[in-house]
Amino acid sequence: MPTINVQLFEGRTLEQKRAFVKAVTDVTVQTLGASAESVDIIIHECKRENWATAGKLWSERA
């Protein structure tokens, strides 16, 4: 059973998340041969102030 963890910045709409998990489920079924019922997707939403790249917080980027 594939479990897919995704980390995203906050702010996506419910509709965007629905479309995303549908697309990820579909491609997982196609590429791994898993059944859709066995695909779990966990979305972790993160504030920009709690995520940094190259030593700089995303909340401080222009």
- Catalytic residue numbers? 2
CA dihedral for 45, 49, 52, 54, sign (positive or negative): positive
